[in-house]
Amino acid sequence: MDGVRHLHIGGGRRLSYALTEGRGPTLVFLPGYMSDMEGTKALALAAWAEAEGRAMVRFDYGGCGASSGEFEAQTLAGWRDDTLSIIDMLTDNPAVLVGSSMGGWLMLLVALAWPERIAGLVGIAAAPDFTAWGYTPDEKMTILREGRLERPSDYAETPYVTSRAFWESGEALRLLHAEIAIDCPVRLLHGQADPDVPWAYSLELSKKVRSADVQAILVKDGDHRLSRPQDIALLIATVRTLLEAP
């Protein structure tokens, strides 16, 4: 795999990325909230892509990882636009988006914004609309009143921070209230022991996406991350099958 590079996208902003050269479609990995391109799933998928001669891009949203910007100034719409910039400036082939947790919401927004460039979607514990269902009424009031909310994180030493800018952007981009006009193949992996994103949301998403080629794959003992060796093997098998479909 090539090393980390930096893409200048205007306005003094810079996105960090790593590109694996190979044949298309190009895999694009979308991390979860407060995550980056150095996660277990992103690295495992990139290693597989390199071994198979497949093209892949992994990157950090603005304000995350090695990309420029302040995290609490970011919005869901801004991260959607970061993803569109990555696809536009770094890929020539159709893209298959692999979205983890919040990245599963972003992959839907990107596919809606640029349907002709998206050849398929793979969600891992996809979390569309989590600004609506992922916070208690008291937490939402704290966000609106104080401009931010801190919660302990099970996945990092730093607290899980939600800004009012991000929360309001998410509320404006909710999808599950109506049909989602996406027609490409969609695969949804979800652990039934996920404590953060109920697996029923993958079933609801499978109903709302317009495409007839949608599959939800449930892992009975799988957690939110789905990063165990058997989970990674399932992810790679799912991606391989999608890429090799006629």
Catalytic residues: 101, 194, 224
- What is the DSSP track for 125-189? S--TTHHHHSS-HHHHHHHHHHSEEEE--SS-SS-EEEEHHHHHHHHHT--TTS-B---S-EEEE
Please name which of 213, 188, 220 lies closest in space to residue 203, comparing C-alpha atoms: 188
* DSSP bridge pairs for 23: 54
Given CA atoms 12, 15, 16, 18 in this order, what sign does their dihedral have?
negative
Spatial separation of the C-alpha atoms in residues 105 and 109, rounded to whole Å: 7
Q: Report CA-CA distances (Å) from 205 to 105, 131, 193, 237, 239.
A: 10, 16, 18, 21, 19
DSSP 8-state secondary structure symbol assigned to residue 12: T
Spatial separation of the C-alpha atoms in residues 6 and 144, rounded to whole Å: 34
